[in-house]
Amino acid sequence: MYRIKIDTKKHILKLFNDNDFIKEYPVAVGKPSTPTPSGNWTIIKKGLWGAQFGGHFMQLSVPWGIYGIHGTNKPWSVGKAVSHGCVRMYNKDAKELYDLVPIGTPVQIYG
């Protein structure tokens, strides 16, 4: 079973299959005024969104808003704390992750 860990301080998303580390991706996270929500979440929806979201969007189970892991039309932002709370990835990485992980994948966000 796949699982994802996101370190908001290091701007890194790590993908695991069971306890085996698979891959690490650089990400952008929320800025201090609109932080990425820490906690244990689940991917509850996947969809193909517009270019602003790099085409691939994976929505998290955060109950107070729509937060997700997605691509971006602002690749310069990856590695920084600049989003409104979502986790941005390079488009090719977002597509790769989208194709791998199913709905129900656990996501731990910390930092």
**Structure confidence by residue, pLDDT tens digits, 29-53:** 999 999 999 999 999 999 998 888 8
Catalytic annotation, pick one of 11, 56, 84, 86? 86
**Structure confidence by residue, pLDDT tens digits, 39-93:** 999 999 999 988 888 889 999 999 999 999 999 999 999 999 999 999 999 999 9
**Structure confidence by residue, pLDDT tens digits, 21-30:** 999 999 999 9
Segments forming the whole domain that contains residue 41:
2-110
Domain count across the chain: 1
Cα gap 28→84, rounded to integer Å: 10
pTM of the model: 0.96
Is 84 tagged catalytic? no
User: What CATH number does the domain containing 48 carry?
Assistant: 2.40.440.10
Give the model's pLDDT for residue 83.
96
Cα gap 101→58, rounded to integer Å: 9
Predicted confidence band at 94 (pLDDT cuts at 50, 70, 90)?
A: very high
